[in-house]
Structure 1
Amino acid sequence: MHWIALPRPVDDALPQGLPADAGAWWALRFSPRVALIDEALLIEVSTTARLWGGLPALLSLLQRPAARRDEEEGDGAKASEGEGEGVVEGDAAQADAALQAPAPTALQALAQLRLLQAGRPLPQRLPHDLPLRTLTDVLPHALQLEHMGCRTWGALRALPRAGVVRRFGAGLLRTLDQAWGDVPHQPRWVELPERFAMEAELPALVESAGALVWSARRLLQALQHWLQGRHQGVLALRLEWHHHLRRLDGVQLQPWDGMDLRTAEPAQEMAHVQRLLAERLAHCRLSAPVDRIALRVVQTGPVLSGSASLLPPGPDEAVGDAWHELQERWAARLGAGRVQAVQLHADHRPERMQAWHAPGDASGPTATGRAASTSRAADAMPAQTAATDPRAALWPTWLTRVPQPLQVQRHRPCLQGPLGFLAGPQRFEAGWWECAAPAGARQAGDGTRGLARREYFIAHNDAVGAVWIFRDLLQTQESCAWFLHGYFG
C-alpha cells in the first residue's frame, strides 16, 4: 500500500451545517480510499496511482493548487477569472508541496507530515528513527518512555513485547504494529452521501438575493467535489433560503423559498453554475432577510472526460464558453421564453425533424416528436438527419410554419401561376406509430399527428422561383391534395 498524507482542511473554511468530512471529498476523485486521521487527510493510492500517470505524476498533481489541478487534468471544474475564483479558493492550500508525506502505511505518512509541519527534517532511516511523539497513541506514555531512553519507533520496537504489554497495555504494541505494516490498519473511510442535500447557516442576515451567490459558494464547492467523486454532472438543482422572519408587515411568510436551476448538459464546472445562479437571482426579490440557505441536487448525469488536443494551443487561441453554456447564460439573463435552442428528432416528417425549446429544459425535446410515442418500433428507428440522409440535398432552406394549400388547375398545382416540376417525387411515409387524430379533427396536409403519406416535388415558375410542394396521398380529392411546404434560397 502507498499512503499520502496532507494537512487536514481547516474546518473554519467550511460553511456551518456541512458534514465533518466534507472537506475531504475533493480527494475522492484521486482514490476511493480516503481517511481523516487526527489533523491529517490521508489518501491510499496503490491501486489508482497508475491511472494518473504513476506516483510521481500524482504527487505533482496534488502539489498544485486546485485551479491548476483541474485545468491540467481536464476533468472537473475549471475556475474562471473573476466570477469563478471563489468556488475553489478554499481548496488551494490543501496540497502544499512542503507538507506532503508519502509512506507505505497511514501512520508513517502521518508521522512524516507532523515532522514537516514542525519544520524538522525527515530521518535517514524510516520508520525506525521517527520520534515517538509523532505516534498519537504513544503520547500518553511518551514521558515515561523518554525517561527509559526510548525516543524513536525503533527503540520502542526493540523493547521486550511482554514487558511493554504489562506496563503500557496491548494497545500500544498494536498501534506500533499497524504503523510498521505488520497488522492491517482499517481507518474510517470517507464516503459520499447518496444524495446531495445540505444546509448552511449564513454568517449574517442577507437582505438581497444577489448576496446569496456569495453565501452559496461554499455549498457549490462541496457540490463540485461530490460530483467529481461520483463522476457525475448536475442537470437540475434547487437553491432554497430560509426567512428569518415569520411575519412581515402583517403578512404571513413561508419559512422557505427557493428557485430551480437546470443545465442542458451534465455540469461539473461550478463557475458556470454560479454564473447561472447570479443571473437568476438578479431577477429575484427576497420577501424577508435570510439566515440560512440549502442546496439540493435534483438530477445528475454521467460526465465523460473531454478529449485533449495533441497540438499545443496557438498564441491567439482563447478558450471560450461552450455553446450550451452561453445559451443558458442568455436564458438566465433574458428569460427562458426569449432564448430557444433547437433539438433534432429522429422523424422523417420535415416539420417534426426538429423542435425548439428553452435551453436546459429537458421537457422540451421529449414533449414533442418521437418521445411522445409509445411504440417500440418508433423508438428503435435510427436517427437520420440532414447530415446523413442522401435525399437532404433536395430539401429546401426554409419551411412554411404550416403547409399551405395550393389551387389545382388542369391537374397541375398553382402558386401565382402553374408550377412546373424540376425534381421528384420523394415519398415520405411516417407517423404510423402515433395515435391518429380523432375523426374530423385532422385537416388536409396536417401531418403533426398520426400517419403522414406524401410525395414531395421541387417545383418552379417565374413568379415564385423554386419551391417545395407535396401531394398528400391520404386525400382522395385532387383539388385538396397539393400543399406548399418550403422555399429555396
Structure 2
Amino acid sequence: MGYSDARAFCLDLQTHPADPAGDQAFLQVLARWAKRYCPWVGLEGADGLVLDITGSAHLFGGEAPLLHDIHQRLARAGLFVRSGVADTRGAAWALAHYGKGIAARAQQLDAIGQLPVAALRLDQKPSIALQRLGVRSIADLHALPRATITRRFGPEVLLRLDQALGTQAETISPLPDPPAYQVRLSLPDPIGLQADVMAGTARLLDQLCDKLTAQEMGARVLQLCLRRVDKGTQEIDIRLARAMRDPQRILTLFERGIGDIDAGFGIDQMRLVATLVEPVAVEQVTHSQVEAGDKLDDLITRIGNRIGLDNVQRFLPADSHIPERSFIVAPAAYSTPAGRWVSLRERPIQIFPPEPITGAGATPPASLRWRRMSFRVERATGPERIAPEWWLSDENWRSGVRDYWKVETKQGRRLWLFYTPQNPAWFVQGQFA
C-alpha cells in the first residue's frame, strides 16, 4: 500500500530508504555465520537463508535446541528472525513465513495443511486465482483432483505442492567458498641463494596472478612464507599502493626482502598468499598511460614498504573557500588524484597559521618585519575579501572577514597578507614560490 495509507493504520510508522545491495551483502555475511550450524547454507530469496541440518542437529542436542540457539544469538545481535524446520525445503519455507515451529518427520501435510496456498511459494497470479475459487489452505488444494489443477493452473502449482510434501525432490545449492588466492611450491632439494629464491617467487607469482586475472581481482597485500629444512619460517610482507596483478612489477618489489632473509641450511618450501585483494576492472588504455601510472604506484609502494604506506601522503582539493580548509591530506596509497582547485585568485604554494606583523590602515604597509627579517614592499595586489563559513565553528575565523593581499618585497619574498577590518590588524599566512 502507499505510505499515506499505511500511516492511517500506524501513526508512528517510520520509513528508511531501501538499500537492496547492502541487504544482499549483509545476507552473505549472515550465511557465512550460519555455517557454524551446518556446512550446507544457501540463500532463500532476497531475505532468507536455507540450511540443510541433516546430520548436524544432534551436535546441538536436536532440532529444537539448535533452533533456540539460532534465535538467541540473532536476538542478541538485534535481529528479528522467523524460522521453520521440516523434512522438505518447501515445508520449512511455509512454516518460516506463515507459521512456526518444527514439523514432525513425514508429517508435512499435518504441519502446513492449514496454512494459506501462498505458503507454497506460488506466484501471485495462481495464488489469487485459487483463493477466489475458495481454495484457502494447502489441505484444500491437496484434496482437489490433480488433473483438474494441472489443466487450470499449469504444472507449477502441483510442483510446489509435491516439493513441500516431499514427493518431489528439491536440493539446496550452498554458497560457493570464496576463492583462495595462495599457491605453494615444494622443492626436491633445499635452496639458499637469492637468485634461486627469486626464481621460485617468479614461478609462484605467475600462478597467483593467473588466479587473480581469472577473478578480475588485484592484490594489495602479499605474504611470502619460506620454510627452512629446520622447520623455521621466514616471512616477507609487501603492501602495494594499488591493487595489481602484474607478476613482473610485483617481483621486483620482493628483491629487498629476499635479500635480507636467513635461509639457514636451506629452504624446501615456498608459499605465496594474497592476504588482501580488491576488484580490478578490465580497462583498455594506451601503453604510455599504463607506464606513467605504474611508475608512480611502484615508487609509492617502494617508499611505503620502508616508512609505511600511511606516511606517503598527497594533497586533495576540498570544497571550501577558506584557505585552511581548501585541501585535505590523504594517504597516497588509498586515494586517487581527483578534482581540481577552483580559485579566481592565485594561491600561495605554502600556507601556515597566521603570524602577526606591524601595520596600520587598510592597505599593506610600506615596510614590515616578519620572522626577524625586515622587508620593503615593492608591489601589492588586492584586496580579495574572504568571508567566514557561518555554518562551521572555527575559532580562527571568529574575527570576521579578511582582506587578502599578494605582496612582492624588494628582498624577493612574495608574501600573502591579510587585514581584519573588524579588529584592525595585519597577518602573514602564506608564501608564493
Q: TM-score, normalised by structure 1?
A: 0.40
Q: TM-score, normalised by structure 2?
A: 0.45
